[in-house]
Amino acid sequence: MQYLRHASVRAVLAVVFASGGWYAGARAQDPRSALDPITSAVMQHPITTSSAAARDHFLRGQRELDLTRFIDANAHFKQAVAADPDFAFAYLSIANTANSLAEFKSNLALAEQHAGGASEAERLQIQMVRKGFDQDLAGQLALGQQLVQKYPDSPRAWLALAGVQIGLNRNEEARASIAKALALAPRMFVAHTTLGFSYVFGEPRDFTKALEHMQQAENLAPDEPGAHMSLGDAYRARRNLEKAREEYARGHELNPRDAVLLVKRGHANSLLGNYAAARADYDSAIAVGRANEKAAYVPFRANVSVFAGEPAAAIDELNRLVASVDGMGVPDPKAAKVAALGSVAVIAIHTRNQSAVEQALKQLAPVLMQQADEAANPAFRRGQEAIIAYFEGWWAARRGDYAAAQRQAERISQLLAPDKNPRKLEPMHQLEGFIALYQGKYGEAAAHFRQGNLLDPYIKYQLAVATEGAGDVAQAKQLYREVAEYNFNAVGFALVRRDAQQKAVASTP
């Protein structure tokens, strides 16, 4: 998420190009090069390659990555390593934009294989990705801190550290790191959008600051679809769905090949209750989608039925995807199956659809273990087994077999014990929360849900139910309101949104 390096020793240089010559001409002919000053030109740490062509493609890929054009970025990074097969940092960038688990794993291995010729900044970032794959987030954080100590003037270093801090829910620290990146490079597009998304999704949220940073990004690149996508997301957070839809439509007009903007417009229409328009948007996105997009967007289309109160129709649509995805020509059909079957399991457990749950879990477990075999990583395998235990335990609790559910909670704890990740036990606490909630042990349930992943609106909703059951109606109302106003598309949110909206009003003391 290899092959042996050629035995010959060659000098790998961090090349700095002067103006003139074929390289400068090639850049000048790139119609998107006007965006370089706010994207790929902002680096301030060495990029190690002796090939002008490789460096050119790497920088073009970095620009597209900053602008959320991930598929285009991946293609440029692959051209970079084609021009320089020893370009370690470009292999890492392929891994970070990979279209499949196999692509991620093989390119991370190639980055490590060629790291001896890379700069220290590049090597540290390669090691950070490896630590993340190994579920050693503590080690990843230490490497990120080392990166900014050695390269304090690099905005990229500070953003790399912020990414780890966001993953750890250390949001204030992450925002401070992003602020340092912006102090070094006030016009860095991706720093503004990253900080904006931190304020949208991370606690404490601040939708006003989120909008300000997304507007700054849009001012930097007003003709870039990704700027309008980010701005639309900020408007969604502020519950201005019509304005969000306008921004998504504007972004799609700027690049009709960009399926993501159609999906985003579909999200806005789903939340507005315009279900026919939402399905049409998703159909259009699937039609123009590239790489994994044709399969990845089907679950969002299925969510329309969940928002509309028709969960069985969503299950049918998701099951059709599972049955057909192997013939769709997408790079990673197993990931699509996992996403679809996971959604089926969530819907079916929530609605107590026994046959659908059991069929989904029967299909899901083998695919998860196939991925584990492909990854060949002990931490990844433990994580896959923990997913299986979580769903099996949740379904056991839902049907009242609390002893079986408790055994699965204990299994999750045992499986994830070796991980150096302070968030590792969130799924165990969520399962313990369900076990307690379904038995009416509201205080115990609330205590566990508070230690779950509260970025998931479905879990926050369960915390609200437990909190209300425990007698704190005012706090429950606040939680219901936060869920009701979430406005981002996830299957769990689609299941509880209507109830949360009603309870946010009805729970007044």
pLDDT digits (tens, 9 = 90+) for 129-154: 999 999 999 999 999 999 999 999 99
Note the pLDDT tens digit of each residue in 377-391: 999 999 999 999 999
Q: Beta partners for 420? A: 136
Tokens in use for 270?
Answer: 């789903």
Handedness of CA 357, 359, 360, 365 (dihedral sign): positive
Please state the pTM of the whole predicted model. 0.92
Residue 396 has pLDDT above 80, yes or no: yes
Q: What does the pLDDT average to over 78-94?
A: 98
Using CA atoms, how far apart are residues 364 and 359, in angstroms rounded to an integer?
Answer: 9
How much is the average pLDDT of 115-123? 97
Quickly count: other Cβ atoms within 10 Å of residue 487's Cβ: 21
- Structure-token pair, residue 286: 């699937």
SS (H, E, C) 365-403: HHHHHHHHHHHCCHHHHHHHHHHHHHHHHHHHHHCCCHH
Question: Residue 412 is which amino acid?
Answer: I
pLDDT tens digits, 215-229: 999 999 999 999 999
Which pLDDT score, from 0 to 100, does residue 506 have?
Answer: 79
Q: Is 355 exposed, middle or buried (0-12, 13-18, 19+ CB in 10 A)?
A: exposed
Structure-block tokens of residue 185: 């490079």
Helix then strand then coil, in percent of the chain rounded to 5, is 75, 0, 25
Cα(460)–Cα(458) distance, rounded to whole angstroms? Answer: 5
Phi first, then psi: give them for residue 353, nearest 5 degrees: -90, 90
Comparing CA positions, the residue from 60, 40, 31 lying closest to residue 223 is 31
Domains and CATH numbers, the chain: 1-31+48-114 (1.25.40.10)
Instruction: Give 167: exposed, middle or buried? Use CB within 10 Å, 0-12, 13-18, 19+.
Output: middle
Say yes or no to pLDDT of 16 above 60.
no
From residue 490, alpha-carbon distances to 112, 304, 483, 495 in Å are 35, 10, 12, 9
Res 30: pLDDT: 74
Q: What residues contact 20, with CB distance under 8 A and at least 6 apart? A: none
Q: What per-residue confidence (pLDDT) applies to 415?
A: 98
| Three-state secondary structure call for residue 428 | helix
Confidence label for 29 from pLDDT (cuts 50, 70 and 90):
low
